Structure 1
Amino acid sequence: MVKSQGGLALEVHNLSKRFGDRVAFSDVSFEVRVGEVFGFLGPNGAGKTTTVRTLGTLLEPTAGSAVVAGIPLRPENGVEIRRRIAIMPESPGLYLRLSVRENLEFFADLYEVDGPRERIDGVLRAVRLADRAGDLCGALSKGLRQRVALARALLSDPQVLFLDEPTAGLDPVAAREVHALIGGLRRRGVTIFLTTHRLEEAERLCDRVAILSTTLRTVGRPDELRDQIFAQSLTVRLVAPLPDPVATFGGLPGVTGWAADESAGYALTVSDPAVAAPGVTRALVAARADVLSISRSQRSLEDVYLELIDPAAIDTDHESG
């Protein structure tokens, strides 16, 4: 695959999809750069899968517009868009009585792939399944079947690859193998649109994420979103509580507030950890405190998600929309 240079892989403007009176998603706008891994997060029923199906030309939007792999999302452009993208759904949809190679031969013929033998050999190597090509898909573990499904999605050499919950139901080892494959695709310049319920997975893999709950709540890099939503802080751990925390922390440069916990720890709200930490350290030494650690508090993407999404709306079961 030739690595694309610059530009946008997806441009979405005020896109909406309704099914009668039910709103699947509404007024969604975002952009995805070429070669980016873009995470699409949200609870079940938020509209993630419907968005993927809409951008993949399987559903027609109710309102708004989009450009997919450089082509306007219009009914007359559906065939051309599908030649430039691939979608890997949560359920692999393989023929279990056929071998790995026979499955890929069937789909290569369906997709009218040029040079199918060489292409199949290439995708098998890419997902590290060349030695399992003769195995029946029904005899493979779920993790291996996910790799076959990824190979199938790569047959058309897509510019944009939509992955819908690619590690759902996989054990940690199999999930890590899929993560490694995604990293390899990124290095080859494939744009990846990833929907996942695994927030640690999104934080590890994605350049940027969007959080959707029918409408788009936010878009950005995980570190940017943390800084936008949460104040910066330092966590102090001591052997014993301070006798006078106000005297120790009050008036220190960069410290704007503090709160104690029940285990001789203190959470300090700071304007800049790099400015505040030296002064905090000196103040603790002067107070003869036995310091176990002083560290910058690190909020996770899960913290951001829970701040923006009502936890009652979260369901780890399969999403229908």
Structure 2
Amino acid sequence: MSGNSTTPAQPAILVEGLTKRFGERTAFADVSFGVDYGEVFGFLGPNGAGKTTTVRTLGTLVAPTAGHAAVAGLPLRPENAVEIRRRIAVMPESPGLYLRLSVAENLAFFAGLYELPDASERITRALRAVNLLDRADDPCRALSKGLRQRVGLARALLSDPQVLFLDEPTSGLDPVAARDVHELIDGLRNRGVTIFLTTHRLAEAERLCDRVGIMNTTLRMIGRPDELREQLFAKSLEIRTRDPLADPDRVFGALPGLEGWHRGADGAYLLAVADPDLAAPAVTRALVAAGADLLSLSPSRHSLEDVYLQLIDTDVEAQAR
């Protein structure tokens, strides 16, 4: 699975003002973004936010209502649908395997369905890529859910896709099986495969994705996780002392670059500062001078989950009922 040996000038996916409506219901509206070749792009959002419909639209299964897109170098138009499908692969949350057939028989069936040349060689490469070559003759019904997910990924890799859409690839997996899928995704990225990942696991997205887009019928934000944190949250220091400070206003009031402070519910002091690295030595000196027993001082770390919850405050699916 080599992906692209060279990186084309245009993005692997380019979306401009894409909109999809079903009658009076809007699945998603005015969505614009680009995904580079070799990038793992996370697509996050609540149920009903339009993520799956976006994937189905980019995969040529649903026609957009408005806007434009290009996938794997081809404009998203009806006359290009067959060729786009040859260049991409979609792995749904449920891989849709025939459980009475062996792993190899499943892949041979789909290779024939796709009319792929050199099917035997492709099956061997795909199974090697997902570390299942020694399980080729096992019936799929005998495999764990994690191994079936790997078979589903092997099926998606049969056509050597330039762009791979993964819909919740670790849903329902235990931590060890999920880690194995993460390692496979990392390996595909290293081979130059573009991966469009939809997931509800925010820690997974933070670990895997070069950039993420947060969706709630419209695209709320897009960027690297660290960029989104910086845009949404002020820089701060988190301070923990053995005992509460007798006069925190006096201790913190004269600090240079301090923009404000408050005490969290867990007892930690959170100081909003212009530059945590520059402020930390002055904060330490002030605490020592005040006789405080300092337990820890560190930059406050906001997770991708914090970013998500800051942006997504509505359950779209519940509102629609």
Q: What TM-score, normalized by structure 1, do the two folds share?
A: 0.96
Matches within 5 A, 1:1-321: 1=2, 2-5=4-7, 7=9, 8-261=11-264, 264-310=267-313, 312-313=315-316
Question: How big is the shift at 1:30?
Answer: 0.3
Check the 8 A contact 2:46/2:315 in 1, yes or no: no
Tell me the distance in 2 between the aligned counterparts of 1:113 and 1:277: 60
State the secondary structure of the residue aligned to 2:12: strand
Measured at CA, do residues 251 and 259 of structure 1 come closer, stay the same or move farther in structure 2, by a change above 3 Å? same
Tell me the distance in 1 between the aligned counterparts of 2:8 and 2:283: 45
Question: How big is the shift at 1:41?
Answer: 0.4
| Paired AA for residue 11 in structure 1 | L
| Paired AA for residue 157 in structure 1 | D
Measured at CA, do residues 82 and 186 of structure 1 come closer, stay the same or move farther in structure 2, by a change above 3 Å? same
| Paired AA for residue 17 in structure 2 | N
Measured at CA, do residues 256 and 182 of structure 1 come closer, stay the same or move farther in structure 2, by a change above 3 Å? same
Measured at CA, do residues 116 and 262 of structure 1 come closer, stay the same or move farther in structure 2, by a change above 3 Å? closer
Check the 8 A contact 2:49/2:316 in 1, yes or no: no
Instruction: Tell me the alpha carbon deviations over residues 124-157 of structure 1, each in whole angstroms, 9 at most, x when there is no partner.
Output: 0000000100011111111000000000000000
Check the 8 A contact 1:233/1:273 in 2, yes or no: yes
Check the 8 A contact 1:6/1:33 in 2, yes or no: no
Tell me the distance in 1 between the aligned counterparts of 2:232 and 2:24: 33
Instruction: Tell me the alpha carbon deviations over residues 12-31 of structure 1, each in whole angstroms, 9 at most, x when there is no partner.
Output: 00001111111111110000
| Paired AA for residue 177 in structure 1 | D
Instruction: Tell me the alpha carbon deviations over residues 211-238 of structure 1, each in whole angstroms, 9 at most, x when there is no partner.
Output: 1111110111000000000101100010
Structure 1 unaligned spans of 5+: none
After TM superposition, the runs of 4+ consecutive aligned structure 1 residues lying more than 6 A away are none
| Paired AA for residue 178 in structure 1 | V
State the secondary structure of the residue aligned to 1:192: strand
Instruction: Tell me the alpha carbon deviations over residues 285-314 of structure 1, each in whole angstroms, 9 at most, x when there is no partner.
Output: 111111000011000011110011115448
Instruction: Tell me the alpha carbon deviations over residues 149-186 of structure 1, each in whole angstroms, 9 at most, x when there is no partner.
Output: 00000000000000001011111111111000000000
Q: What TM-score, normalized by structure 2, do the two folds share?
A: 0.96
Tell me the distance in 2 between the aligned counterparts of 1:121 and 1:265: 55
Aligned residues: 316
| Paired AA for residue 107 in structure 1 | F
- Backbone CA RMSD of aligned residues: 1.4
Question: How big is the shift at 1:112?
Answer: 1.6
Measured at CA, do residues 89 and 33 of structure 1 come closer, stay the same or move farther in structure 2, by a change above 3 Å? same
Tell me the distance in 2 between the aligned counterparts of 1:19 and 1:127: 38
Structure 2 unaligned spans of 5+: none
Measured at CA, do residues 222 and 263 of structure 1 come closer, stay the same or move farther in structure 2, by a change above 3 Å? closer
